[in-house]
Chain A
Amino acid sequence: MSLLIRQLQVSLTQQSILTNQVSALLQRVTSSLPAPLCRLAPTNERHYRTMPTHGIGRWKYLLPKEVPRKKRDKLQMKPIRGSTATEYGSLSVKVSGYDMTVVEHYSQYIHNLCNRLGVRVSESYALPTKSTEVMLMQEQGTKMYIDALLKTHERIVQISSMTATLCPTFMDVVLQNQPEGVQLSVKEHVERDFLERFKARPQLEGLMAQVNQRD
């Protein structure tokens, strides 16, 4: 700042013309010369590291850590691959049965087998359990009473690509290791199968039906 003023003064004396504007400018400049450097800008209030007052005024670190609540994203469907001349498209291998441990172990076996044989598994999930009530007629009378409650568990291993040459071998291994009491089915994966995973929302469906009816 002082250099600037000195230059101005030099130019002025050289020209030897002292206009009102220039004098006013000079006065404004001299009057606005700052005193202590630390008050130049309001953000520059931190004290240097070696100063004893370093870190004075910090308070945010004292507050308890607030974990931001993650909003769970809606499950997205992975793209369904179509079949080519040498490869099958998206297949879903469904394992179902009454005994949950056997069903789960068999689906885990199939998944591990796919990993070992190089068949790419896109997803591995469970469908909601279906309960079946077995009702018997009473010997004397017409009333039915509940005899047993059977729960059918279903597990699905979704395969994204399998070569046609590997398929017979893979199917043979899987069928020969099928345990008793477990049903196996290998089908093409369709979008409807994906939608089956979600719970039915009767209120929403009723409203949609109403809206469609009006149209």
Chain B
Amino acid sequence: MSAPVVKMAGRCFYQLYKLSNSAGRLASGKTGIRQFSGAVVQNAAEPWRLLGAACVQRLAVISVDQRPLEAKFSELMNQMELERSLMSDHELSLLDDKERLRRRQAVDYDSDEEEEADRDQDIVLTQDLEDAWEQRLKGFATQPRARGVVDARLERADRCLAEPLLLLTQQEVGPERLWLLPQTPWEAGETLKTTAQRALSATPGLDLQTVFLGNAPCGLYKYRMPRSVRDREGLTGVKVFFFKAVVSGPLPPPAPSSLWVRQSELKDYLKPSYLEKIRPFLLNL
């Protein structure tokens, strides 16, 4: 959600404002103003590294199965609707055909009494049409809704068709390899959204067509480096900006080091602090 982003940005500005105020006061020669602790002061020598990340979702393809109570209720509603409805043209023509047949098979049938319009009506009966349609329906084979074997394989994009899936890639962050949303460092001169798009295309073996849902980021993850790294490399920390995207076009084939996981399976792959920051903008509908 956008709310946490705004709050954090507000806090950064407030800190910078306080810093500039205190600097001004010191310059004017007034003593007795408490200096801020070193942890808050941000110098130009210790910058934050910016990264753009893409939160790619494969939306649900089929609807969720109904629960028993829902199934019973929908059946009841359909029955009520059927009982209260009027007959359609097709059903009326079925009745007409039956009536005509009954009249023709009567003992005292006189074909001249038949009306002009009804005389040549026995070429294609409505019942024959219905039989032809039923034959075609029998030839149609449906796919099963839940496929156990496919659902268990996490690298396939067509698993769990009734639930939305999230794309995770394995990336090297410092000394270890972690499962994260695909991310890449920001380069000067490009927008963060293009960084996120680059992160997707940079993932090896991933052939994906996506649509980004907006130009503004949906979330922010700030990670402060441990003191050793901060002193050695002069890097205070890392800020990751997330952009929402949705898979469009055909589903991609499985790619190495990339997984499609459900929201319930996220906690098995992501670090708790990272997952906590991501959860607010993941909609669990």
Residues of A at the B interface (CB closer than 8 Å) are 164-169, 171-173, 175-180
Contact A176 B216 (CB under 8 A): no
User: Chain B contacts of A178 at CB under 8 A?
Assistant: 59
Q: Using A171-B214, A172-B283 as known contacts, say yes or no to A180 and B62 having CB atoms under 8 A apart.
A: yes
User: Chain B contacts of A172 at CB under 8 A?
Assistant: 57, 213, 244, 246, 283
Contact A168 B63 (CB under 8 A): no
User: Chain A contacts of B164 at CB under 8 A?
Assistant: 176
Residues of B at the A interface (CB closer than 8 Å) are 1-2, 5-6, 57, 59-60, 62-63, 164, 213-216, 218, 243-244, 246, 281, 283, 285
A selection of 18 A-B contacts at a CB cut-off of 8 Å is A164-B215, A165-B5, A165-B214, A165-B216, A167-B214, A167-B215, A168-B213, A169-B1, A171-B244, A172-B57, A172-B246, A175-B213, A175-B246, A176-B59, A176-B60, A176-B164, A176-B285, A179-B63
User: Chain B contacts of A164 at CB under 8 A?
Assistant: 214-216
User: Chain B contacts of A180 at CB under 8 A?
Assistant: 62-63
CA distance A166 to B213 in the complex (A): 10
Contact A168 B216 (CB under 8 A): yes
User: Chain A contacts of B6 at CB under 8 A?
Assistant: 165
Q: Using A168-B243, A169-B218 as known contacts, say yes or no to A175 and B2 having CB atoms under 8 A apart.
A: no
Contact A168 B218 (CB under 8 A): yes
Tally the A-B contacts, defined by beta carbons under 8 Å: 47
CA distance A166 to B5 in the complex (A): 12
User: Chain B contacts of A169 at CB under 8 A?
Assistant: 1-2, 218, 281, 283
User: Chain A contacts of B283 at CB under 8 A?
Assistant: 169, 172-173, 176
User: Chain A contacts of B60 at CB under 8 A?
Assistant: 176
CA distance A18 to B1 in the complex (A): 104
CA distance A179 to B60 in the complex (A): 10
Q: Using A173-B283, A176-B164, A176-B285 as known contacts, say yes or no to A165 and B2 having CB atoms under 8 A apart.
A: yes
User: Chain A contacts of B213 at CB under 8 A?
Assistant: 167-168, 171-172, 175
CA distance A130 to B22 in the complex (A): 69
Q: Report the minimal beta-carbon distance from A113 to chain B, rounded to whole angstroms.
A: 12
Q: Using A175-B59, A180-B62, A180-B63 as known contacts, say yes or no to A168 and B214 having CB atoms under 8 A apart.
A: yes
Q: A168-B243, A169-B281 are in contact. List 7 more A-B contacts (CB 8 A).
A: A165-B2, A165-B216, A167-B216, A172-B244, A173-B283, A175-B246, A176-B60
User: Chain A contacts of B2 at CB under 8 A?
Assistant: 165-166, 169
Q: Which residue of chain A has its CB nearest to the CB of B124?
A: A145
- Which of A166, A169, A179 is most buried by chain B, counting CB atoms within 10 A of its CB? A169
